[in-house]
Structure formats: C-alpha cells, structure tokens
Amino acid sequence: MKTKTLIILIIAMFCFTAIQAQDVEKDVQRIRIYYNILKAEIESETNELICFYVEDNKFERQKEGEAYTNTKIYFYYTDTPDGVDLKMIIFESKRGIFSTYAEYMFDEGSLSFGFKQHNEDASKAERLYQQNGRVVRYSVGNVDKDIEESEYKIAMFNKTASQMLTVFNSYMLRD
C-alpha cells in the first residue's frame, strides 16, 4: 500500500513539474511573440508608436580625469484617448570603455521582459520574463537560473524598470 502511494505521489509530482514547465514555455513563447511584433514595429517606424527620446551629455562634456559618458534612452508608447501606454524602453549607455545595452518591455504598465548586456558580452546577458508581475524565467547567457537564488538581481531589474517608468510618467504630465 505504502509503495503504491509513493509511486502515485512521484508520478503526480512528475506530471505537475511537466505541466509547470509547459506553462513556463507557453508564457515565454507569448512574451517572445509580443516582443518580436513590438521590435518590428519600432524598427519599421510605420506604426502608431511614439518615441520619447532622452540623451544625457549631448555635447560630450568630459572633465579631466573623468571617463567619457553618454546615455540614450528611447521610450516607445502609444497615445490613445484613454491615456498613454508605455510599451518598450531601449537603453544605451557608454562610460569610458564600458557599455550597457538594455531593453524593458511593458504590458499594461507591468514589466514583462527585460534584457541587460554589458560590453556586448552575450555570455553574461541577462533576460527576465514576467507574466502579470510574476517571474516566469530568469537567465544569464541563455542559461536558466534558479529564480529564488536570483532574487536580488531580479529585484534590481524591476527596480530600474520602475524608476524608468517614473521618469516616463513625469514627462507625460503635459504642461
């Protein structure tokens, strides 16, 4: 009897894990489809997406002994009678020989995908997938990481996205 229960339990756990993995794949797939559509729209510029552009250190000022810095941020959003809806942020930054490229994709005001890469090093590129604020997948260099163990890095991702959202919202208060 005990062996039977144990077998059933193992099978149930196996099924549950498999279903969960399938759900994760489905969520990731959904996010990727949405991402591809959005990126194609941004690149083609033939859509309704409006770009709010920010460039820091436009005149390339550089003090003695300090590294050259330049940051460009592109906020893509739609403007409807119901209000503005932020879809994607593209962040490019240079500080001396270091560079950062990041993307933050939003779905109804919540971060659904984040990508961050330093010095064009794909082996350390971070990817965060979220569905309705719930973490679906977090990977570094295309290798999936344990979500609980990566709690701090995920929190930082969300914190930056939230700060960017604050910047965007402050500009959208029309004068």
Q: Which residues bind other proteins (CB under 8 A)?
A: 45, 48-62, 68, 74, 79-81, 156, 159-160, 163-164, 166-167, 170-171, 173, 175
Report residue 35 as tokens. 């991402």
How many residues does this entry show for the chain? 175
Smallest distance from the beta carbon of 14 to other proteins, in angstroms? 42
CB of 156 to other proteins, least distance (A): 8
Query: What is the DSSP-derived secondary structure letter of residue 124?
Result: G
Q: How many CA atoms lie within 13 A of 136 on its CB side?
A: 23
Strands (E), 46-109: 50-56, 69-80, 83-95, 98-107
Residue 47: which of 38, 35, 56 has the closest Cα?
A: 38
Q: Contact at 8 Å (CB) between 164 and 89?
A: yes
Is the Cβ of residue 2 or residue 58 nearer to other proteins in the bound state?
Answer: 58
Cβ closest to other proteins, residue 76 vs residue 113: 76
Q: Would you say 97 or 173 has its CB closer to other proteins?
A: 173
Nearest to 135 by CA among 122, 119, 148: 148
Nearer to other proteins, 56 or 144 (CB): 56
Answer whether 73's CB lies under 8 Å from 93's CB: no
Cβ at position 126, least distance to other proteins in Å: 15
**Six-digit token string for 102:** 């990041």
Q: 146 vs 175, which CB is nearer to other proteins?
A: 175
- State the nearest-atom distance from the C-beta of 160 to other proteins, in Å: 6
